[in-house]
Amino acid sequence: MVAGIAKAREVEVEWPCCLDEYEKLVLLMNTPRVVIDNSVYPRATLVTVDSAKKHRYLLEAVQVLSDLNLSIKKAYFSSDGGWLMDVFHVTDQLGCKLTDERVISFIEETLEARRPNKSVGQENLTALELIGADRPGLLSEIFAVLSHLQCGVSDARVWTHNGRMAAVLFVSDEESGEPIDDEPHRISDIQSRLRNILQGQTNITSMAVTNAERRLHQMMFADRDFEIASSPLEVSIQRLVERGYSVVTVQCSDRPKLLFDIVCTLTEMEYVVYHGTVRTDDADQAYQEFYIKHSDGRPISSEAERQRVMQCLQAAIDRRGQGLRLEICTVEKQALLSEITRAFRENGLLVKRAEVSSTKGQVASNIFYVTDAAGGIPSSEMVDAVRRHIGTGSLTVTQPFPRICEEAQEAGNRSGTGLGLASLGCLVLKNLSNLGLIRSSSC
């Protein structure tokens, strides 16, 4: 904490002339302080955040780390007594400590300025929200309609869960790259065509979405996808009577953004996390424990409420459905997404989740999690058929996040091609570009 205070004192602040020295001190003390230390642990970077207590700040801190696709192996947080402290043990996508000064500075500046919700690179795009019943080939039809209407998709997140589909798409005019929200007739045409496909709800807005994945959780929750979920076997809740907390325990296989999904759901349900611990063992099993109260200060007070919270948390865990991870890194071109998803449909692949990021005239990084018609891992023959359709050099079957950098390096050395690392490097560059840390560039 001392290092954090010293750092805060070094920041040049422009104070309003009406403030006296005491008021300036109070404001300075309430400013979040971030310390990032690589010297404490051999395989993880320590990120410590302390600040005056603020509802939702834990979510904002986790969101910043998740948006950079960093892995949180351990975490501790406490916010009693009007002050909070969050401690995270993080690694990059290769399981290594953070060494890029641009990334470290971005984390410090974003958390200290308390502006993690600001969307970057999407200000001049039209945000399109879709939700409806899922079915085979639905995503292919959506992208085909947008392509026919000359709408380019620059960024997209698509989730399916319990027979429902939710998507946040950032679109613009295919030719000019300009937003389309100032064209009422065109918007009406898009709404009409998509409603026919979805048989559900569409919203079009020119306002930047706070966070696409946070919005997807909100949309799925509002759609009540948790009601038909299976028994919440990975979540339990007990009441700590003597302290007035409810204790939420999550035990499941670790995966990227697990902590974000849990904290996001608790926050959107208006629960406050007062204390918590997160750890991941050597077998990649995650154990997360949260001491919570409702925003009105009471713990979970009925069995019905307890069951509902458990169901919602289980749904949050399950929404990032399993499947084979296919990464397609290629030069952006017109109707690319329509072509890719049509190839999936024609070869019997179902898209469970999609992450699309592209820059007009440059690189497109598209990640799809797919299954066969029975919900299993597709056969190599099915994947090869898709590869032949879209180009042999474009599609890579990848593991989401290798545990340590040595494994990835050894795999690349053995293959002699470096395709896995090149593909992952493309995604890393795209993430940094989208967050404004580097200029867009093709890989």
| Cβ proximity of 91 and 97 under 8 Å | yes
pLDDT at 120 over 60: no
Q: Is residue 71 part of a domain?
A: yes
Q: Is residue 222 part of a domain?
A: no
CATH code, 342 = 3.30.70.260
Give the mean pLDDT of 260-279. Answer: 96
Helical (H) or strand (E) element with 203: strand 201-205
Is the same domain home to 296 and 377?
no
Is the same domain home to 331 and 416?
yes
pLDDT at 325 over 90: yes
Q: From residue 23, give the alpha-carbon distance in Å to each of 1, 5, 81, 186.
A: 21, 17, 21, 52
Q: Give the tens place of pLDDT for each residue, 155-168.
A: 999 999 999 999 99
Give the mean pLDDT of 289-304. Answer: 94
Alpha-carbon span 51 to 6, nearest angstrom? 14
Q: Is residue 20 part of a domain?
A: yes
Is the same domain home to 341 and 247?
no
Alpha-carbon span 289 to 236, nearest angstrom? 10
- Residues 6 or more apart whose Cβ sits within 8 Å of residue 22: none
Q: Which residue has the higher pLDDT, 329 or 18?
A: 329
318, 334, 358 — which closes off a domain? 318
Alpha-carbon span 401 to 421, nearest angstrom? 11
pLDDT averaged over every residue in the chain = 80
Is the same domain home to 398 and 329?
yes
Is the same domain home to 19 and 95?
yes
Q: Is residue 298 part of a domain?
A: yes
How are the residues of the chain apportioned to helix, strand and coil, as percentages rounded to the nearest 5? 35, 30, 35
Q: Give the tens place of pLDDT for each residue, 172-188.
A: 888 887 888 778 888 88
Residue 10: what pLDDT?
37
Q: Give the tens place of pLDDT for each residue, 137-156.
A: 999 999 999 999 999 888 99
| Cβ proximity of 140 and 134 under 8 Å | no
Q: What is the pTM of this model?
A: 0.80
Q: Is residue 246 part of a domain?
A: yes
Is the same domain home to 267 and 336?
no
Q: Is residue 354 part of a domain?
A: yes
96, 113, 130 — which closes off a domain? 113
Q: Is residue 187 part of a domain?
A: no
Is the same domain home to 327 and 443?
yes
pLDDT at 193 over 80: yes
| Cβ proximity of 292 and 273 under 8 Å | yes
Q: Is 89 exposed, middle or buried (0-12, 13-18, 19+ CB in 10 A)?
A: buried
Q: Give the tens place of pLDDT for each residue, 104-117.
A: 999 999 988 765 45
What is the count of structural domains for the chain? 3
Q: Which residue has the higher pLDDT, 81 or 264?
A: 264
Is the same domain home to 293 and 396?
no
Helical (H) or strand (E) element with 317: helix 303-318
Is the same domain home to 79 and 104?
yes
Only one residue has tokens 């949260």, namely 290
Is the same domain home to 388 and 426?
yes
- Residues 6 or more apart whose Cβ sits within 8 Å of residue 279: 73, 74, 286, 287
Is the same domain home to 246 and 309?
yes
Residue 408: what pLDDT?
37
Q: Which residue has the higher pLDDT, 362 or 389?
A: 389
Name the pLDDT band for 21 (thresholds 50, 70, 90): low
Helical (H) or strand (E) element with 47: strand 45-52
Q: Which residue has the higher pLDDT, 166 or 22?
A: 166
Residue span of the structural domain in which 292 resides: 229-318
Is the same domain home to 11 and 87?
yes
Q: Is residue 251 part of a domain?
A: yes
